Amino acid sequence: MSNIHFLYPYWLLLIPIWLLFLLLLFILRQRRKYQLAQYWDQFIDPQLQPYVLSKGNYSITGKENWLWSVAIGLAIVALAGPSLHKKQQPAYQLEQGLVIALDLSTSMLSEDNKPSRIQRAKFKLTDLVKQRKEGQTGLIVFAAEAFSVSPLTTEMTTLTAQVEYLTPTTMPAQGSRVDRAIEQSIQLLKQAGLQTGHILLLTDGAAYQEKAEAAAKKAQAAHYTVSIIAFGTTQGSLIPLSDGGGVKNNQGEQVISRLNPLSLKKIVKAGGGFYSEARADNKDLERLMAYYKKNSLLAYDKNKTGKQQLYTSINDGIWLLLPLIPLFLLLFRRGYLLSLLLLMFIVQPQAVYAFEWSNLWLNDDQRAKRLFEQKDFAAAEKQFNNQHWQAISAYQQGDYQRAQRLLEKADTAEDWYNKGTIFAKMGKLHEAVSALQFALKRQPSHQDARYNLKIIQDHLLTKKLAAFAKKNPQFAKKAAKNKQKSKQQHKQEGQKKVTKQEKEKQQLSKQKPTDLTSQQEQERFKQQWLRSIPDDPSGLWRRKFKQQYQQREANDEEEYW
């Protein structure tokens, strides 16, 4: 009996409340009985009352009360989950975490793997994520530094959605620091509380071989394997640039990026993992998944032979439901349960939200981000705890007033940039200029803020010139006269033909200055300006990585292409 315990003991708090209710009911019943006895004493001799008065109503009511008391008492104990025995279960869980490290160094732009190494790596990453049926997966990117893109999660859609926007141009500095990628992966796995896991590098080479091997040994010592799927060929390829040229070294010679399988295999050997060169089919991924499965089973067998055992308590409360069945049948015979059933059909049910098991492991901001990605901005705004993201959600709904209020306490450059964009959407261009200037004051390298500021200032200047021309018609006439004089001189020089473009200019010169300041023209110009505001997710990652890079005070080491 010493093993008896309750799985949900807080339900037992209802027992004293129920006993107090029974005591109160008993006192009221006795009081009522006493009052009735006094009443009948006035008319019937107490010695004759047992033979004259009926006791049927009292006895039936007493039985019903006792039935209710026993039924509710048993139900409370059943809800508390009494457990009389335990069941032995494995102390090891097969789920292991996987962190994928994607190489975004410039050499990944080489095209010896068609269409390019980076595109092949992204395809491979997406295929791998689709094949993973269980376990948590995280994503980092690396070049000269390693940066987290997604923590370990079971939401594969969220992870793969970001891959499209990650390119070598998003990285603040170039290199191929595999060692830092491994260290960042170890940190992610430990933060997730996983005792075992895997690190997969999608790369074409490693700088600082000794450091990379040391990092791999560190990972293996922490029970995390290091595997590599390599991209590129031993023949190599030029590294193309956006201007059509290629990367050159200090001597002005074009650099050819070649795959060095031997160096990568040494890293894998140090990390106790799996190595394969990327294939056009998915044979490499099939072998990788088979390796991961085998590794998990070995870990299971090793753990199972240990001394520790895991016992799970069994809920025996279900057996208490058996005596409740006849009790409820008796109550049903009296008509009480039938009344309750009718009441359940009459009362309209309230709307409920579908529960997803995956939501159990997400915090409010993670749930809100999922709603935001699904473009349910109203629900995302209510779910977000982060005021910055609440403002972005309100902005996406077109509620610029609320978005502006949420950013009243703007402090960072990004907040001031968003605030400037909101002011521009509201037509408050002067306030937008001030906000963007504040953003540049806090972060002079903020290219988007600088670009938007120039557009707004040019627009304001155009409006001022148009307003000046409207208020000074003599200025407009003088400008038109000078243009006519220039036109006559041009004709005298013997030009007999004019191009289509010059005809359009002549037609525009005939318009009145007031035409340029019409409401329709201003609205058209405003819409063109609003459409020109950049909406590039790659830029968001670029700024985030650059900010993190500046904070880390990375060592100034030689770049590796």
- Whether the per-residue pLDDT at 59 is higher than 70: the answer is no
Helices (H), 517-557: 519-531, 537-552
Which structure tokens are listed for 90?
Answer: 């494995």
* Strands, sheet with 224-230, edge to edge from the N-terminal-most edge strand: 146-153, 137-142, 97-103, 197-203, 224-230, 272-277
pLDDT at position 304 is 45
pLDDT tens digits, 441-493:
888 778 788 888 888 887 777 777 666 666 666 555 555 555 555 555 545 55
- Whether the per-residue pLDDT at 298 is higher than 80: the answer is no
Q: With contact defined as beta carbons under 8 Å apart, do 134 and 96 qualify?
A: no
Q: With contact defined as beta carbons under 8 Å apart, do 264 and 273 qualify?
A: no
Mean pLDDT of the chain: 74
Which residues of 284-436 form beta strands (DSSP E)?
310-313
pLDDT at position 469 is 62
Confidence of residue 300 (pLDDT cuts 50, 70, 90): very low
pLDDT tens digits, 172-208:
888 899 999 999 999 999 988 888 899 999 999 998 9
Give dist(CA 38, CA 56) in Å, integer.
Answer: 19
Q: With contact defined as beta carbons under 8 Å apart, do 543 and 415 qualify?
A: no
Give dist(CA 55, CA 241) in Å, integer.
Answer: 102
- DSSP code for 314: -
Domain 97-237+255-304: assigned CATH number: 3.40.50.410
Q: Kindly give, in sequence order, each residue whose CB lies less than 8 Å from that of residue 277, ignoring residues fewer than 6 positions away.
A: 229, 230, 231, 259, 261, 284
Closest to 217 in 3D by CA, of 271, 142, 279, 291: 271
pLDDT at position 31 is 82
pTM score over 0.95: no
* Top-confidence residue, 39 or 180: 180
pLDDT at position 323 is 80
pLDDT at position 410 is 65
pLDDT at position 425 is 80
177 three-class SS: coil
Give dist(CA 229, CA 417) in Å, integer.
Answer: 40
387 three-class SS: helix
Query: What residues does each domain of the chain span?
Result: 1-83+317-343, 97-237+255-304, 350-397, 410-476+513-553
H or E element in which residue 86 lies: strand 86-89
